[in-house]
Each structure stands twice: as structure tokens, then as C-alpha cells.
Amino acid sequence: MKRDFLNYKIAELSELQDDAKRKAIAYFHERITAFNPELNAFLEVLPLSANYSSGSLSGIPYALKDNILARGTRTTCASDILKDYISPYDATVTARLKAEGAVLMGKTNLDEFAMGSSTENSAFGPSKNPWDLNRIPGGSSGGSAAAVAAGLVPFALGSDTGGSVRQPAAFCGVVGYKPSYGLVSRYGLVAFASSLDQIGPLTRCVDDAYAVFKTIARKDINDATTINNGVNLKANDLPKIDLKGIRIAVPSDALDFEGLDERVKSRFLEFVERLTEKGAKVSFIELGILKYVVATYYLIAPGEASSNLSRYDGVRYGERVESENYEEMIKKNRDIGFGDEVKRRILLGTFTLSSAYYDAYYRRALKIRRIISDRINKVLQEHDFILNPTTPTLPGKIGEISDPLTYYLMDIYTIPANLAGMPAISVPIDPVDGLPVGVQFMGKRLSDLQLLSVAKEAEKLSGAYENGLAKLPERWLHV
Amino acid sequence: MYKTIIGLEIHAQLSTKTKAFCSCQADVFELEPNTAICPVCTGQPGALPVLNKTVVEYAVKAAVAFNCSINLRSSFDRKNYFYPDLPKGYQITQYFTPIAENGYLEFKLDGNEKRVRIRRIHIEEDAGKMIHQDADSISGASGSLVNLNRCGVPLIEIVTEPDISSPKEARVFMELLRDTLRAIDICSGDMEKGALRCDANISVVDEESGTSSNRVEVKNINSFKFVEKALEFERERIIKALEQGTDVDRETRTWNFTKRETISMRSKEEENDYRYFPEPDLPPLQLSGEFVEKVRKNLPELPQQRVQRLIQQYGIPEYDASVLGSDVKISLFFEEVSRVTGKPKDASNWIMTELMREINQRGIPIDEMPIGPEHFKVLFQLLDQGKISAKIAKELFPLMVETGKTPDQLVKERGMEQISDEKLIEEIVLRAMESNPKAVQQYRDGKKNVMGYFVGAVMKETRGKANPAVVNEIVRRLLES
Ligand SMILES: [Zn+2]
């Protein structure tokens, strides 16, 4: 029986003969063409091309979140202000994937400039959740998550500033991994909040996440925040880890959070039970910082964003509106170029960085960020991992939530990893009412391999998998 | 009596090969617009800065030369504002922790020792350049062109304490600062080319009443002459206001070259809030003590050290030493000429006057001049031997510079040897006495200055080549015999 390409892990696809690889590439291209109109996962689909080099990802189709540059393609950040911007160079991750033979199929949808948790804040319309087209795929890497969850590509890259890879992975029932800050170069990732942003893969299993991570991670001379000798990436396979005796901390304050959906909570506790049965030592602890993380994040991230986005003045990018003078022109250009959420965060960031309020807000947020880091480090000295639901809720209906604060709170479990620079991964567990649920493991800084190893063990306890790959919704199985 | 208080903020362009945060060429003065740019320095989406190590080394050199204490851990920050020549919308600078602080520079002015404290030295990147059509600023211009070549060019900003007490002092300080930057070879010091720029803060205190004026900032001063001129103008303007019982506005002004006055740029209220915050794309800059020590040890001689050494080693006057010592190439040339000729004072005289004049007129730097110490050696010998007069020597000098020939060659070629032949001179003098007996009588009646007439006659006939000492002696002897 000829196996469907949807049932291949990346390692298996890369071992195919050349003609089979070409068939696989054409197959995924056909799926994208057929399904994207419904999903709006891709903003740009590249023409079918079977040119690829040899390498560890030879002939593997993939998608890039449209805030990552690929020379010659449009990089819009889902914003009107960049709608015609052609990347003049390759992002480091793009260049590394190309060098290992991966085949770029297109650019995926996102919340404008990666600001949002639903992919509804896209200037080009929302993406749909492959499990329920009326629901959001999460965000901001919602297009990448939807593309992987519908089997349009074996993997996609996203960017994660406060949970933007892990949260849509949880909503779409796939694996989303944010590496330790500094392991993956940000060169060519359009900056949202530089000290928090990190590129990470969305895949259908942890092995695939590792295969992609191995290719894109390492020091980059173009990004001064990348580090040397962080993690040994030589091994072909992940190190084996035994759940027996693993010390896992579950923050009880996360479970007490009033926004936590009861169904998500009970699925999560069932999963914790399975871990315990396998011999993991689970302790419920008081993390004590959760009530500060959202506030801290929404001081630091918009501050950096307000600065990072000031280059979009409508002169070099975007549309230019005729005006009386320079100041008026910039105001008008930015007014028509940016969406509401982006404007909201620019205003917030501009305010908190202003000299009158810097000490009261920004400086204090930097201090609290340090306290949060210290607290997480302390817990991770006594435990190997921290485990919590990836998101407090199930994916909502498109247009359902209009209050930005509600959205901001959806990232409460994912933000700590960004503030502290820790690696974290979301793995799908058994769904609720046909909707995916994810759990997040967070590890010590640079413990990425152990983190991936424990996540791989967790997959074995999950009802979301079949033959080692996250299940796809029935309706996308056949073109 | 009024007391003047001046503080300076000086931007010095570092003469590194590449820009501060990318590998584009840093010396962009003569390049076509927008030819030395890349995704990083033009702030393309996704591009990131990477710090140029040479920039750090140069900044540390300056810090050591200006007696600063160096922060082994410093950091970068963003200064945010909108302007079309600032493609990222912010400038990378060091605001919260600069690379160096608390230095000073000492110099002598009108016989007094002066110390100007330096508050801080920090690294930053330059912005681009704009050309506005039909207007002085972007608002109201019919069009504006942007040249991004200067974006990311490395600068250090040197900020003084308000220790400078006169416009002249400001100029002398700036000149010494330039000489020092040149001596340590980190900045060309050319104000005309924008490699050195200066903003000044000035206020005036009425010492009788104790009232002090608002502080006025004079921006974009681009020549050493204008440092003094602009501050003098501003000082007078402020004093006039104080005398009328009012005060000047606290504002930023700029020196208008054509009107020879300062004009208002913007008031205090119009100033930006730069929203400084730590640059998240660059990790803090960590220096080792060994690195700083190595820079300190390899620091070349500074202008003032050199002046003291020239005085001691060559016995030349302080004035000569300060003129020669301000430029490393000129002082090296002086030392070489002194060594070869064994005549430091003569070397100093000739270099300070004749050679400097040639350098200035021809616009050729000293190391491209076709004459060397040998030329001076031969020149001094010819003078000593009486083969040429000082006057002839001065005529010879430009010819030497022009042709590269030694003075003896030129003398031979052009028949410019001095005439010391007493017989020949005697003949000429006697002829002159015969043809003008009236003048001879005048001399003998006591009108001694008539002697000049006879000397002149000899010079005229020998076309200036007669040895003046011999001529004088003979004329006197014959007239008095
Ligand atoms: Zn450049």
C-alpha cells in the first residue's frame, strides 16, 4: 500500500528518492492550492518549484510566517504598511533551511506585526482553525499553525514573543516550540519586541521540531544576541529521557486562574495523572508571579514595539499621503497604514517610554522582569520542568472577543518563558468537544534538548496522535 | 562684569574602515549618494546591528587620551525620533551607561593653566543627510532628498562640563581636542568635512547682581573660527538682553554663515522627548581590564606631552614647540630635520614659517612634499658658507618645493650664488661714488643714511646676489676713506 505523504515524519520524507520527493512537493503544493481559499493560512503561495539542495531537510516543503524574510518574496507582516515590501535579503533561518534543502512553499498569515492572539488582526483577513472554520486558529502565528494542522506543509516557522508559536499550536492541535532566547537568530525576523521575540517551529511531532531546530539554531554573526555553544546539536536523535523520577512542577496558581476553562483544566489534570502513572514526580507549587506577567509584558513589549515600528513612516514603505508638512504626512501615513491593535500598542509603548513615565512604568517593568526570571529559575533548580495548560481557553469563535484585555490574558501561561528567555513547548493532548488542547513544558535556559525529550515522552501519553504524528481533522485528509 | 559659562558637545567621526554596526564603508565623504548602504544601516525590516570592535578600541583610545575613567561594562540605548534621514526611527547611542566618564583636558591659555573637565564619552551612530529644496528645513520645502550614506557612521560624543569661560577658550579647547584626536589617529579632525562637529551651550552671569541668563544652545558649528565667532555673537546678544533687564529665551540656535549671526532653530518647548530605553538588539559591552591596559600602553604621544619633550630635547622656545607639536607629522619632520642638520632652532624657524606657508598655499600635506631633511641640510650649509644670502634662501625655498631639487642644484642652474668678491664690489661702489659725488658729500657731512643708496646700487647691479655683509663693510670703508 502506498503511504500517503501526510503520514511521513520529516526524517522519512527526507529519505525518499528524488522523484518521490518531487511528487511530495507537488502533492503539498496541490493541497495548499486546494485548501488555502478556505483556511486563509497563506498570504502568498509561491509557484511550484522542485529545486532543492541535498541536506538534512532535502525536499521538505515548509512555510514561513510572513514576518520572516525570504529574498524576493513579499514580507507583509499582514500589514497594509508593508503590503508591497519585497524582502531584499534572506533571514538567517531562511538561508539555513535553504542550505539544508528545505523548499519554501509560501508565506503564512499572522496578526499584524505579530501583535495579537487570534490572527484576526491581519490586514488580509483572519485565518481559520482547521478543526472548526468558525473559530480562530490562535495567534499570532495562526497561519503557520493552521497550515501545519491542515497538512498543507510538514512544518512552518512562527515567531513567539509572548506565546505566538505555542498558543496557536495548542488551538490547532500541533506542536509549537519556542527555543531558549539567543539560540535561533532573529536576523530577518521583522522585530516586534526584540528582547522577547524568538523564531520557533510548528510541526506535527517533537522529532520534526527537533529536525527543524537543529537546522536553524546556532550562533549567527548577524545577530549579536545569539550565543555560542548553547546546546549540542550534533546528535541525530534526541537524547532518551525516562519519565520515572522526573520532577515536574505544576503551578497551582495557574489552575486557580479564574479565566481557566473548566474543560481545559480537567483535560490537563487527566494528563498530569498519566504522567504520574508513568513515574513522574509531580508537585503542585505556588509560582507566585502569574499575576504580574501580563502587566509586565504589556509594558515591555509595546515599548520595544513602538520603537521597532517607527521606521514605518509611509515614506520608504507603505502608502504616502499628500500633506501640508512632514509631521502631518507621517501621522496620516501611519494612521492609514497600521491596524487598531498595532496603534494601541504603539501608543501604549510611546507612553511608557516617555521621559515623564519611564521610571514609573518601563524601568519598574524591567525590574519585575528580573524578579520573574529569578523566581522561575528558583523553581527550575528544584524541578526539571514546569508544566501548565498552554492556554486557559479553547479556541474562540472568530469575532467573538472584542475586548483586548481578554485577549491579553490568553497569554498568561506562555509569557513567562519569553520574559525569562526559557525554552518552552506546547504538545497537543486529548481534545475536548472536537477542539484541541495543549500542554506546555518549560525548562531551564539552554536545556532545550531535555525539554524536547520530555515532550516526546508526553506525546506517547496523548490521545491527539496517530502513528507518532498529531492527527489531522478528517475533512483535510483528501484533496 | 559678566562671567561666561560654556559647555561643549563634540561629535567626532571615528576613522574606522567600516560603519559602527554593519560592514559598509565608513568614509563616505566623497561617495555618490546612497552607495554605501545595506539592510542594516538603512533599517530594513528584520535587519540587526552588530558592533564593530574597532569602534570600541577607538573610543577607549579617546577615553584614555582624555583622562577618563572607563566603564568596563557599558550598554547601548535607543534615542527615538522621527526624521527622514533616520531610517530606523531611532539612533543607537549610549545614554544610561557610557563607555567613559569623568575625564579632563588641560592646556595653557594666555599664560594661565586651564583644565576643562569631560563629563562623558559615548559611542553612537550618525544619521543620514538631507537636502531641502527651496527651504531651510523639511517643512515648506518643495522637495527633499535623502542621502543615507552617513547612516551608521561611527561617532563618539565628547561632552564637557561647563568649564569653558570664553569663546576664545572654546576655540583653543577645540583645537587641542582635534590635535589629540589626530595624534591618537582615530579621527581626521576635519571640521569642514563634518568629521568633527560641535554644539555649544552658553549662558552669562552678571557678577554684580548674581543674575544668570538662560542657557542657549548653538548647534552645528562647523569650523574652528565659527566656534569663537558664534559664541562671541551669542555672548554679546545675551549680555545686551541682560542689560535691558530682560533675558534671552531658552532655545536652540544655529550659526548662520552668510549673515554672521546666530538664528533661532527651535524653542525649548519644541524639543523632542527621545524616549531612551536599553537597545535590545545589542548585549551590554563588556571590556576586560587587560584590553584597556593594552590600549593605554600603545597610546601614541599626545600633543602636550610632545610639546614638553620638544622644548626639553631640542631647546626650542615654548611657542615654537606648541606650533610644531600640535601636528604629529610636522613635529616628526622637525625632529628629522633637526637630527640631520644639528640646528633645531633654524629648523623650527624654517618649518614654522616657509614650510607651513607652502603647505597651506599648495594644500599638500607634509608627507607628500617633495623636499626632505637633506634639502634643509644643504640649505643651511649654503647659508653658513655665505654662498647664498638669507634673502636668496627664501627665494629658493618655493623653487625647492616646486621642483624637488636641492638648493645647491638650483643655485648652480640659475646662477644665484652670492657674490663675495671684494674687488668686484669695490669697483661697483667706486663707480657709483664717481657718478654721484653729491651723495658722497652728504654722507661726509654726517647724513649717514645715504649709505643705503650705495648698498642699493650694488644690489641692483648684482641682481641681489651680493653678500650684504661684505657690501656694507666696503661701502662704509670707501665712504669714510
Ligand atoms: Zn550598512
Per-residue DSSP letters for B153-210? -EEEEEEE-S-B-SHHHHHHHHHHHHHHHHHTTS----TTTTSEEEEEEEEEEETTT-
Question: Cis peptide leading into B209, omega within 30 of 0?
Answer: no
* B325 and B435, same domain (yes or no): no
CB neighbourhood size of A342 (10 A) = 29
Spatial separation of the C-alpha atoms in residues B30 and B379, rounded to whole Å: 40
Q: What is the value of ipTM here, to two decimals?
A: 0.96
Q: Is residue B57 part of a domain?
A: yes
- Same domain? B373 vs B447: no
Q: Is A11 exposed, middle or buried (0-12, 13-18, 19+ CB in 10 A)?
A: middle
B394 shares its domain with B435: no
| Disruptive mutation site among A308, A312, A354 for chain B (greatest number of B CBs within 10 Å) | A308
Nearest-by-Cβ selection for B84 from A225, A309, A315: A315
Q: What is the mean pLDDT of residues A440-462?
A: 98
> Does B190 share its domain with B260?
yes
Residue numbers in A near B87 (CB within 8 A): 311, 316
Same structural domain, B229 and B143 = yes
Instruction: Look at the block and give the residue holding cell 599648495.
Output: B362
**Which of A113, A311, A316 would you mutate first to test chain B, the one with the most B CBs within 10 A?**
A311
Give contacts of B280 with chain A, Cβ < 8 Å. 193-195, 225, 304
Rounded Cα gap, residues A396 and A222, in angstroms: 39
Chosen domain end from B414, B438, B466:
B414
Q: Confirm whether A87 is a catalytic residue.
A: no
Which of A107, A184, A304, A307 best tests the B interface by mutation, with the highest count of B CBs <10 A? A307
Question: Is B140 in the same domain as B194?
Answer: yes
- In A341-380, the residues whose Cβ lies within 8 Å of chain B are 350, 353-356, 358, 362, 366
Closest CA to B85 of A187, A313, A355: A313
Q: Over its length of 481 residues, how does chain B's per-residue pLDDT go in tens digits? A: 899 999 999 999 999 999 999 999 999 998 999 999 999 999 999 999 999 999 999 999 999 999 999 999 999 999 999 999 999 999 999 999 999 999 999 998 888 999 999 999 999 999 999 998 888 777 778 888 999 999 999 999 999 999 999 999 999 999 999 999 999 999 999 998 999 999 999 999 999 888 899 999 999 888 999 999 999 999 999 999 999 988 888 988 988 878 888 888 877 777 789 999 999 999 999 999 999 999 999 999 999 899 999 999 999 998 999 899 888 889 999 999 999 999 999 999 999 999 999 888 888 888 888 889 999 999 999 888 878 888 888 888 999 998 889 988 888 887 777 777 788 888 888 888 888 888 888 888 888 888 888 888 888 888 877 888 888 889 888 888 7
Query: Which grid cell sits at A152?
Result: 498543507
CB-count burial class (<10 Å; 0-12, 13-18, 19+) for A46 = middle
Of B273, B277, B281, the CB nearest to A362: B277
Among residues A14, A122, A127, A140, which one is catalytic? A140
Q: Please state which architecture CATH assigns to domain A5-240+387-476.
A: Alpha-Beta Complex (3.90)
pLDDT at A3 > cutoff 70: no
In a domain? residue B106 = yes
Q: What is the pLDDT of residues A56-96, one digit of tens each?
A: 999 999 999 999 999 999 999 999 999 999 999 999 999 99
Count of domains forming chain B: 3
Q: Is A229 left (phi over 0), alpha (psi -120 to 50) or beta?
A: left
CB distance A156 to A208 below 8 Å:
no
User: Which residue range(s) make up the domain with B431?
Assistant: 422-480
Task: Determine the 3-state secondary structure of A444 from DSSP.
Answer: coil
Burial A171-210 (b: 16+ CB within 10 A, else e): bbbbbbbbbbbbbbbbbbbbbbbbbbbbbbbbbbbbbbbb
Chain B CB contacts of A309 below 8 Å: 89
Are residue B141 and residue B277 in the same domain, yes or no?
A: yes
Domain ranges of chain A: 5-240+387-476
Q: Would residue B304 count as lying in a domain?
A: no
Distance CA A451, CA A166 (A): 14
Task: Tell me if residue A283 is catalytic.
Answer: no
**Does B88 reach chain A within 8 Å, measured CB to CB?**
yes
Residue B64 forms part of a structural domain: yes
Give the Å distances, CA to CA, from A52 to A55, A156, B7, B235.
Answer: 9, 17, 62, 71
Is B112 within a domain? yes
pTM score: 0.90
Alpha helices in B246-288 (DSSP H): none
For residue A50, name the pLDDT band (cuts at 50, 70, 90): confident
> CB of A299 within 8 Å of any CB in chain B?
no
Q: Could you tell me if B409 and B430 lie in one domain?
A: no
B58 part of a folded domain: yes
Distance of CA B76 to the CA centre of its chain: 31
Q: In chain A, which residues have their Cβ closer than 8 Å to the Cβ of B80?
A: 306-307, 310, 353
Residue B426 near residue B434, CB atoms below 8 Å: no
Same domain, B160 and B216: yes
Q: What is the DSSP string of B427-443?
A: HHHHHHHHH-HHHHHHH
Side-chain-side CA neighbours of B52 within 13 Å: the count stands at 27
Do B328 and B469 belong to one domain? no
Active site residue A79: no
Min Cα distance A75 → chain B (Å) is 9
Backbone angles phi, psi at B302, to 5 degrees: -90, 160
Residue pair A440/A425 in contact by the 8 Å Cβ criterion: yes
Task: Compute, in angstroms, the gap from residue B24 CA to the centroid of ligand 1.
Answer: 4
A 10 A CB-CB count for B120 gives 22
Question: Same domain, yes or no, for B264 and B370?
Answer: no
Q: Which three cell numbers stand for residue A18?
A: 528524488
Taking the centre of ligand 1 as the mean of its atom positions, its distance from the CA of residue B26, in whole angstroms, is: 9
B363 in contact with chain A, both atoms CB, cutoff 8 A: no
Q: Which residue of A has its CA nearest to B96?
A: A363
Residues B176 and B37 in one domain: yes
